Structure 1
């Protein structure tokens, strides 16, 4: 099971390390290894979130996530995306932007870093919406019982997630975004308008992609219920459920890719603390991204989220923290190790709570009353 799931990750790691050693020597090999570890540590919570979505998809789309998805993650987000950002923000042509990325590493780093406020606002708003929609939803299983019960009551207010996100965005735009330090120079610059525009873009992207995928998922569930009630009639209909499932899975796949993109922002920016060579960066972060995808599939196939029910809670709280950290990095430098450790700590605590809950259930037996007593982790 382990080798089957992580086999491609192991193979790509070996090939990537060998390529790094040939092209850049021992120094390049070390940089690629460090970047891989950085990406894994920053994105472990991403794997848990992805697993919660991926388990709803069939084997074909799970395979697409590991094949086409990894190409998008490595070449799209770690290689092409920063160059596109440079081209847009610096108003360069595509060829000139590629030339800067390859031949002028210092200027490339400056241009990508100067675009960080917009990137952080977009990704921060997208991730914040994921977190808020999770905590404002009423759930049967609660990790932080009293807190999550209170938030679920607040969540009955229509559109509260959007309202809170917009308030947070306005606060960020009028505080940290008004005096952003100039990279490589003295003084500050006002990025309030940029942050507002990018933040609204992240919010709209979440509402559109998440809304469409949720719509098709609900339709799919309705058709499945109808199929169970009248199986003969469904056979006569020509298999509309299969087509609808394909649409649902497609938009959920898009949703997954946008989530992955939002998680990768801090990794791409943080990688400049290690190297400004675009190819070393793409290779190292790409290897890390491959492990995150393999870990996602592993969690799905092992049913880990069903066995350790608070893992999703811990991952979502880590997402909420990451969203706020991304907004803070518009002005302040937050070490990547801090971001990574917070995520690992929250997921570790949720895992420990899940283990404790399982032990209580085992000790209490199968009685309904006993199960209700351990419904909350804290």
Structure 2
């Protein structure tokens, strides 16, 4: 991998981390308004250390280790921060298992948003699917899992198993995340201490970062690059949480852009798991195009509202 490829990957990772975390950042901003100035500064400084180095550094490493248990935790750590070619080769061979699980998880996440979750409608079909066809989500999810397993089990049974793990992980974590979202909105009006709120926000950040970390593997399996790209994005998100939440709220379709990006990256990961070659620049290119489209749609809608007002 050349320097230019690395830069492209880091930029894509940073943008994906920003767009996939904006929604949570806006909710965090509401909570921070109920806290003291000292607590807000603590959340910004120490919280970013936890968010970047602990969550977005350790979590990808654990996922790589889980997909290649034969190398051991220390082997995965060695492969991450050294040039041990033998260990890297083992992890590279296990990559399709990771891609199948992560890819199916992200595709499920996209379809759940499209069929079930309340949303701003950027296109007509989003309204139609959500209002008329929401009950089809579980049928689509089941059929997709069946198709992925049918294709990948012929390539490698462990890839098919990875897809089943990704499906299981989605349904386990999805309920937890929805409860966490509701709880996060409620703590702004609770009588919790500032320290309790900070700890709770960090716990929720860890929960919601799973989507971003899994999506990062569509760009690369290099943990240092993931740490750099997602870390850069996390810095921007923390800044938005403090200074730009009101502005972000005005752009109605940014969440749509995040979800279409997630769906696209999930599809890329599934394709790579099935031995389809995807150029290294493709995930970054798609992310910038999708996010740019929905930013433009949001800006156009905002301009129209100002004209009417």
TM-score, normalised with respect to structure 2: 0.79
Question: 98, 101, 107: which is aligned to 2:86?
Answer: 107
Q: How does 1:123-162 map to 2 (within 5 A)?
A: 123-137=102-116, 139=118, 141-144=120-123, 146-157=124-135, 160-162=136-138
Change (3 A) 1:219 1:307: closer
Can you give the 5+ residue segments of structure 2 that lack an aligned partner in the other structure? 33-39
Distance 2:199 2:176 in 1: 10
Match of 1:210 in 2: 174
Would you say how many aligned residue pairs link Structure 1 and Structure 2? 295
- Report whether the alignment pairs 1:174 with 2:155: no
Tell me the CA shift for residue 76 of structure 1. Answer: 1.6
Tell me the CA shift for residue 348 of structure 1. Answer: 0.5
Match of 2:24 in 1: 53
What is the CA deviation profile of residues 260-288 of structure 1, one whole-angstrom value per residue up to 9, with x for unaligned ones? 3202212333x5xxxxxxxxx62x44332
Change (3 A) 1:67 1:139: same
Tell me the CA shift for residue 292 of structure 1. Answer: 1.0
Match of 1:117 in 2: 96
Instruction: Tell which has more relative contact order, 1 or 2 (C-alpha 8 A, sep 6+).
Output: 2
Match of 2:284 in 1: 340
RMSD across aligned C-alpha pairs, in angstroms?
3.3
Tell me the CA shift for residue 47 of structure 1. Answer: 1.3
Tell me the CA shift for residue 305 of structure 1. Answer: 2.8
- Report whether the alignment pairs 1:266 with 2:208: no
What is the CA deviation profile of residues 299-335 of structure 1, one whole-angstrom value per residue up to 9, with x for unaligned ones? 4331243121111111211111111111010111111
SS of the residue 1:268 aligns to = coil
Can you give the 5+ residue segments of structure 1 that lack an aligned partner in the other structure? 1-27, 180-189, 228-238, 272-280, 366-378
Distance 1:75 1:221 in 2: 27
Larger-Rg structure: 1
Distance 1:48 1:261 in 2: 13
Distance 1:120 1:309 in 2: 31
Q: How does 1:183-262 map to 2 (within 5 A)?
A: 190-191=155-156, 193-219=157-183, 221=185, 239=191, 249=201, 251-262=203-214
Match of 1:290 in 2: 231
TM-score, normalised with respect to structure 1: 0.66
Change (3 A) 1:241 1:135: farther
